[in-house]
Amino acid sequence: MAENDQEEVELRSAEPIKMSGRPSPFLQAVRAPQDGEADWEYGRITEAQPVEGIFPVVGGYVDRAGKFHNMVHLRATSGEEEDIWSDMSLPFCVRMNEVLVRCVKRYGDITNPGEIRQAVLGSSQGTRLDMLLYLRCFSNYEDKGWIYKMDVECGSIICTMAESAPFSVDVNLYDVGRYDSPHPEQSEYEVVLPRIKVPVRWRRMTPAGDQIVEAVAAREESRKDVATWGVVVRLLDYDGKDVSVGLDDVLDKTGRVILGYGGRRSKMKPRGVEAYKLVKKMATYDRDFLREQFMDSEPSLDLEVSAKCPECGMVNRVRLDLNQSGFFFPKATSALTKRTFSSLWTVGG
Ligand SMILES: [Zn+2]
């Protein structure tokens, strides 16, 4: 961490570095194409990359040499990332990861694109969400990108009966509570389940884990099991036996969760079924204990939002929903499908 000290002092304000205005005459000369249409060419270049900034994230990444990194240099999103965001056929976490991998220019000391990918995908969910919020804040800097106008459906009886239209609430993304873990450089933990007295090894939520939980939440038939899968995807060993699951153990080639894992004629791979059954049968006392461990040890964001309904005045407590089209396209009035996707953000419900 010592090497990062100077950087941290400089950048603690988390103010994005804004690059705008006209270039110096020297830069203009360098960039001017031979035919003399310098202004047009310059406009295009600056539009492609208006802002970037370096931010300290919750959690972080430990590389193979054991070095910890938690300062992230991000560049603003461009058209290519917007295309990824618009592809609603991809799960939210896949789009999030892909956009982050592209927009992270440096992660601590890591600058090699392949290693950056590994580092981003090796970071826990809270860390990636933190990067995503920063990215949103300054990618739309000119339009007060830190204010997210989120749509909320009022849950009061009056509004539900009247089928009232969703209302909009302003969420200041800089104000979202960020909780670092007590040991950010640690990603695996060993505990003993208090009821059954069995040793368990678990790891922080990984991108593969995200994807599995999101796939489970996306299907009507499996949605009820989100809490169970939220535990399954974090487990590594149970009583000394490897019970970790990967994407292939649970999802089909199209990324959908394979159903029938609870019944006799399961089509899911045995590894996935066994891990699921193990956690499903686990005593609530032990499951709650594990969930508490997850919450205490994982870097996370406080994603609860209070939103007062302008119609009936009821204060709705809702989860920050980053999957609304307005999150990355604040000005767009596009008809992108809106899907509420609260389940991903909970530690298993
Ligand atoms: Zn209402």
DSSP string, 138-200: HHTGGGTTTEEEEEE---SHHHHHTTPPPEEEEEEGGGS-EE--SSTT--EEEEE-TTT--EE
Same domain, 212 and 265: yes
**152 CA → ligand 1 middle, Å:** 10
**151 CA → ligand 1 middle, Å:** 13
Q: Considering only CA atoms, which of 184, 204, 211, 171 is closest in space to residue 302? A: 171
Question: 169 and 162 in contact (C-beta within 8 Å)?
Answer: no
How is residue 308 annotated by DSSP?
Answer: E
Question: 43 and 50 in contact (C-beta within 8 Å)?
Answer: no
Instruction: Pick the last residue of a domain from 79, 111, 141.
Output: 141
**297 CA → ligand 1 middle, Å:** 36
Judged by phi (left if over 0) then psi (alpha if -120 to 50, else beta), residue 228 lies in alpha
Strands of 188-192's sheet in order across: 188-192, 199-203, 235-238, 241-242
**153 CA → ligand 1 middle, Å:** 8
At residue 36, the pLDDT reads 42
**154 CA → ligand 1 middle, Å:** 5
**137 CA → ligand 1 middle, Å:** 29
**169 CA → ligand 1 middle, Å:** 13
d(CA 1, CA 108): 10
At residue 140, the pLDDT reads 75
Q: CATH number, domain at 236? A: 3.30.2220
- CB hemisphere CA count around 246 (13 angstroms): 3
Same domain, 118 and 205: no
Same domain, 195 and 101: no
Phi, psi dihedrals of residue 53, rounded to the nearest 5°? -165, 165
**318 CA → ligand 1 middle, Å:** 13
**164 CA → ligand 1 middle, Å:** 7
41 found inside a domain? yes
Same domain, 135 and 72: yes
What is the chain's alpha carbon radius of gyration, rounded to the nearest angstrom? Answer: 22
314 found inside a domain? no
**323 CA → ligand 1 middle, Å:** 22
46 found inside a domain? yes
- Residue range(s) defining the domain that contains residue 294: 185-298
Same domain, 114 and 206: no
C-beta atoms surrounding 77 within 10 Å: 21
d(CA 174, CA 189): 30
Same domain, 49 and 137: yes
Question: 58 and 130 in contact (C-beta within 8 Å)?
Answer: yes
157 found inside a domain? no
**196 CA → ligand 1 middle, Å:** 45
Instruction: Pick the last residue of a domain from 258, 283, 298.
Output: 298
Structure tokens given for 153: 């459906």
**207 CA → ligand 1 middle, Å:** 36
Same domain, 122 and 189: no
Q: How far is CA 47 from CA 76, 78, 79, 150, in A?
A: 10, 9, 10, 27
At residue 27, the pLDDT reads 43
Q: Considering only CA atoms, which of 53, 62, 145 is closest in space to residue 106? A: 53
d(CA 269, CA 323): 30
Same domain, 136 and 248: no
Q: Across the 349 residues of the chain, what is the mean pLDDT of every consecutive 10-residue run?
A: 40 38 44 41 40 88 89 90 84 91 95 94 90 88 83 94 93 90 87 96 89 90 91 96 94 88 76 94 95 90 92 94 81 39 33
Same domain, 136 and 24: yes
d(CA 160, CA 153): 9
Same domain, 137 and 25: yes
307 found inside a domain? no
**307 CA → ligand 1 middle, Å:** 10
d(CA 152, CA 169): 7
**79 CA → ligand 1 middle, Å:** 37
Instruction: Pick the last residue of a domain from 298, 318, 338.
Output: 298
Phi, psi dihedrals of residue 267, rounded to the nearest 5°? -105, -5
162 found inside a domain? no
**316 CA → ligand 1 middle, Å:** 8
How is residue 21 annotated by DSSP?
Answer: S
**49 CA → ligand 1 middle, Å:** 41
**306 CA → ligand 1 middle, Å:** 13
**172 CA → ligand 1 middle, Å:** 22
Same domain, 119 and 189: no
316 found inside a domain? no
Q: Is the dihedral of CA 110, 68, 91, 248 positive or negative?
A: positive
Same domain, 8 and 137: yes
**Total number of domains in the chain:** 2
Question: 286 and 278 in contact (C-beta within 8 Å)?
Answer: no
**162 CA → ligand 1 middle, Å:** 9
**341 CA → ligand 1 middle, Å:** 21
Question: 79 and 89 in contact (C-beta within 8 Å)?
Answer: no
Question: 23 and 31 in contact (C-beta within 8 Å)?
Answer: yes
- The reply to whether the predicted model has a pTM over 0.75 is no
**225 CA → ligand 1 middle, Å:** 30
Coil, strand or helix: which one is 124?
coil
Q: How far is CA 188 from CA 27, 60, 113, 177, 293, in A?
A: 49, 13, 25, 24, 11
At residue 29, the pLDDT reads 43
What DSSP element (H or E) covers 329?
A: none
At residue 263, the pLDDT reads 67
335 found inside a domain? no
At residue 139, the pLDDT reads 81
**340 CA → ligand 1 middle, Å:** 18
